Structure 1
Amino acid sequence: MITGCLQQKNNTYYAVLYVKVDGKRKTKWIPTGLPVAGTSQRKAQKAFDQIRLEYEQAQEEKERQEAEEKARELIEGKRNPQADVPFMDYLQKWLLQAKPTISKTTFKGYRTMLDGRVNRYFTKLDVTVGEVTPQHLQDFYQTIFDEGNTPNTVIHYHAVLRKALQNAVKKDILDSNPADKVDRPKKNVYQAQFYSAEEIMTLFDAVSDDSLEICVKLAAYYGLRRSEVLGLKWDAINLEQKTISIRHKVIEDEVDGKFVAVGEDVLKTKSSFRTLPLLPSVEKLLLAEKEKQEMYRRLFKCSYCREYLDYICLDQTGKLMRPNYVTEHFSWLLEKFGLKKIRFHGLRHSCASLLLANGISMKQIQIWLGHSTFSTTADIYSHLDFHAQIESGLVMDGMFERNQVAEPTGLETSE
């Protein structure tokens, strides 16, 4: 608090304030504007008090502004220059840096997302990575919902953006991750589409002698993913031990502006690497496919591609089938023969549902499909486990029953 007193000078009242400047006490004379003659002491004192209060408030405001300026300078001095990089530029750079640490399929998916919706929204918004707020992200997610997409779609975008922004926190570009302050949508329940045993048999008849026959049947028998089917090689088949090993996949990648099939020894999870029994019907199918490929090699001669001789699923010219071709041709086959529409991945669901219907445990199905956790299998297929529901029903049905004791009917006669 500033102290002082009222003084007279040149027949005028002055407010004399004792203030500190650079740690030293100094006297500051401020005229009240009131003449000594004709001004009561009370009025002069009131003027002094007002001057002292206003000066004190002015000093406090000045000190506050100086403190804010120093804090701002400190923050600016610590601020990472990369925080001023446009958000989309940062995301593209992050994706390229992350490329060696993720699979080709994941990289392709991230790139599609960033180049599409994310780019359209945030380029128009024109914000730097340091300016992105939770509200920006929430508004972006709302645009995805407005386009009629499911919560799962929003969750995918949220996961990518959160991962990219977390990297900015790790590199000291941001102090905190704005994505952590956004409410993550609840995952919607996916109802898988699948075929019954009778529908599978009808499908097998439809694809007979089609280029996709081997792919469809392998996917149905083993519940393989599309990439796993296309990635099967002849050396994965052990005719002596009667096993088939899942350890390779084929994906679609852009090479020199063209989309081509590319093989890689990286599966979705560690559990995806698995060895299954070679079923007699599948062995017969594979031997027939082997003869068919040898026939095509003789037929096409020099025109036959010999780069992929170790793969099982090839077209007539010996080339790897593109994953997108499998999807498109499968859909075309279903329409051609008037079959129920399901995705190619629906063959995997069909396999699981048929195993469940025949009393195979959920744990065994997890291993057969190559799911990383039991919960993954249970989340997808528990509603189909009717055997477990029957068992539960039988237990509940008998749980509350009392032993029935025969009561006298009143018709007995004594001897």
Structure 2
Amino acid sequence: MKRKKPIVTGTLQQKADRYYLVFRIPDSSGKLKQKWISTGLPVKGNQRRAKQLLDAKLVELQADYDRRSRQAGWSVAEVGEVPFDEVVRRWMTRKRSEVAPSTFEGYEHITARLLPYFRKLDLTMDEISPTVLESYCEFLSDAGLSANTVQHHLTLIRSVFNDEIRNGAPILNPVKCVKAPRVETFQGETLSVEQIGQLFRLFEGDPIEDIVHIGVIYGLRRSEILGLRWEDINRETNTLHIRHKVAEVRINGKRQLIRSNNLKTEASRRAFPLSSDIRQRLEHRQARIAQNQASNRWYSQSDAAYIFVDANGKLLSPEYVTDHFRWKIAHSDLPKVRFHDLRHTCATLLLHEGCSLREIQSYLGHASYLTTTRYAHVDARSKEHALEIMSAALMTGENN
């Protein structure tokens, strides 16, 4: 028998000499939930107007219910019988408009492996068991993927199931019972003070010289550095503000720059005092930009708000910074560090010089204290300092 389409119903109710709209709206399982909405209209002389509001709101609520039902794509009671790869594709369709482009690009990398694998198995949602998922983890590990990457795959699958469960689907999330590969804590490469001096000499006169200096001194993310605008520099207070970012993602097969005020976390929105060196560098950069504008008739003004533009006025791309930095490092005697390792270096040097982890957390803009402990791993000298403090305390106790 064909299931009847759930209908939103509504009536007019009088309460405290006012008209109220009372609706019964089906939830994802078909159960009716009541919703009261005040019209603000007195009962006397307003019945016709109240009825018009009721009819208009009924149309709106029914359309909203139908839209949500179409997004789900099936009755929640039947979702367990739907092929898993189809559920993932529909989940991706919804997420495209819900998450940042850079996040969605990460999802695409994961599903490029996930969808072909499960399409071949032809399993429904009900047939995705912990054993099936553990076999998938082994498949990924055998393909050379790291434990961290395998965890990202499981996180996406967990989200797919959780979304259906929140929508009322009578299914369990098998990811909870999966024995996932152990994730090793990532330790980024760092440079010593002497190596930083060598790094600065290596990039002297280079197009990204100032970017490298800012990366080391402030430990900024690449997207934060390229997102710096002239309005973010307050010369009166001698302050540099982090409140904008530039990221690069692939959309429909093409690389595109995404400019946004939505930083990675709210803690990323922070300010720094300008060092004399960085202030001088910015002043020289501004002068060079003025020279380029005057001498280059093809100079573009479209990115004039940004600090880090090329000789033609175009904003430097994150990919260019990464690739150029890697090339310069590869042709030097320095350790093979990535650009992001400048952030690790900054954190480690701050810790080495006596800054607390809480101070470093604020400096780097970490939302979580645990993230800071991963970036700023304690070095040998820090342990020696701790041992000196402990030894001194014990000696004092013995003397007493």
User: What TM-score, normalized by structure 2, do the two folds share?
Assistant: 0.76
Matching residue within 162, 168, 174 for 2:164: 168
Using the TM superposition, give the Cα deviation of residue 383 of structure 1 relative to its aligned residue in structure 2, in angstroms.
2.3
Tell whether 2:323 aligns with 1:319.
no
Paired position in structure 2 for 1:262: 258
Paired position in structure 1 for 2:92: 95
Paired position in structure 2 for 1:375: 370
Tell whether 2:135 aligns with 1:134.
no
Paired position in structure 2 for 1:229: 225
Paired position in structure 1 for 2:107: 110
Does the 8 Å CA contact 1:130/1:174 hold for their aligned counterparts?
no
CA 1:84–1:372 in structure 2 vs 1: closer, same or farther (change >3 Å)? same
CA 1:398–1:136 in structure 2 vs 1: closer, same or farther (change >3 Å)? same
Paired position in structure 2 for 1:348: 343
Could you tell me how far apart the structure 2 residues matched to 1:207 and 1:283 are?
Answer: 18
Could you tell me how far apart the structure 2 residues matched to 1:106 and 1:255 are?
Answer: 12
Deviations 1:238-275 (A, max 9, x none): 01101111111111123564212221111111101101
Paired position in structure 2 for 1:291: 287
Could you tell me how far apart the structure 2 residues matched to 1:380 and 1:339 are?
Answer: 20
SS at match of 2:125: coil
SS at match of 2:109: helix
CA 1:148–1:255 in structure 2 vs 1: closer, same or farther (change >3 Å)? closer
Does the 8 Å CA contact 2:309/2:315 hold for their aligned counterparts?
yes
Paired position in structure 2 for 1:335: 330
> What amino acid is the match of 1:98?
K
CA 1:256–1:402 in structure 2 vs 1: closer, same or farther (change >3 Å)? closer
Matching residue within 163, 176, 181 for 1:185: 181
CA 1:398–1:169 in structure 2 vs 1: closer, same or farther (change >3 Å)? same
Using the TM superposition, give the Cα deviation of residue 371 of structure 1 relative to its aligned residue in structure 2, in angstroms.
0.6
Matching residue within 225, 238, 242 for 1:246: 242
CA 1:256–1:151 in structure 2 vs 1: closer, same or farther (change >3 Å)? closer
> What amino acid is the match of 2:320?
Y
Deviations 1:80-136 (A, max 9, x none): 334333322211211221233322211111111112x21231122122233212111
Does the 8 Å CA contact 1:356/1:385 hold for their aligned counterparts?
no
CA 1:101–1:401 in structure 2 vs 1: closer, same or farther (change >3 Å)? same
CA 1:278–1:80 in structure 2 vs 1: closer, same or farther (change >3 Å)? same
> What amino acid is the match of 1:145?
S
Q: Unaligned 5+ residue runs, structure 2?
A: 1-74
Using the TM superposition, give the Cα deviation of residue 352 of structure 1 relative to its aligned residue in structure 2, in angstroms.
1.0
SS at match of 1:261: strand
> What amino acid is the match of 2:342?
L
Could you tell me how far apart the structure 1 residues matched to 2:396 and 2:284 are?
Answer: 59
Does the 8 Å CA contact 2:244/2:262 hold for their aligned counterparts?
yes
Deviations 1:198-238 (A, max 9, x none): 21121112112222112211111100011111111111100
Does the 8 Å CA contact 1:228/1:250 hold for their aligned counterparts?
yes
Paired position in structure 2 for 1:220: 216
Deviations 1:365-391 (A, max 9, x none): 111100112222123324237335523
Deviations 1:123-159 (A, max 9, x none): 2212223321211111111112223333212111111
CA 1:373–1:288 in structure 2 vs 1: closer, same or farther (change >3 Å)? same
User: What TM-score, normalized by structure 1, do the two folds share?
Assistant: 0.73
- The alignment of Structure 1 onto Structure 2 pairs a total of residues equal to 326
> What amino acid is the match of 1:362?
L
SS at match of 1:232: coil
SS at match of 1:186: coil
CA 1:140–1:211 in structure 2 vs 1: closer, same or farther (change >3 Å)? same
Paired position in structure 1 for 2:267: 271
Q: What is the Cα-based RMSD across aligned positions, in Å?
A: 2.2
Could you tell me how far apart the structure 2 residues matched to 1:277 and 1:133 are?
Answer: 54
Using the TM superposition, give the Cα deviation of residue 177 of structure 1 relative to its aligned residue in structure 2, in angstroms.
0.7
Does the 8 Å CA contact 1:224/1:369 hold for their aligned counterparts?
yes
Using the TM superposition, give the Cα deviation of residue 79 of structure 1 relative to its aligned residue in structure 2, in angstroms.
7.0
Q: Unaligned 5+ residue runs, structure 1?
A: 1-77, 406-415
Does the 8 Å CA contact 1:103/1:266 hold for their aligned counterparts?
no
Identity of aligned residues (%): 32
Does the 8 Å CA contact 1:233/1:312 hold for their aligned counterparts?
yes
SS at match of 1:383: coil
Could you tell me how far apart the structure 2 residues matched to 1:162 and 1:179 are?
Answer: 6
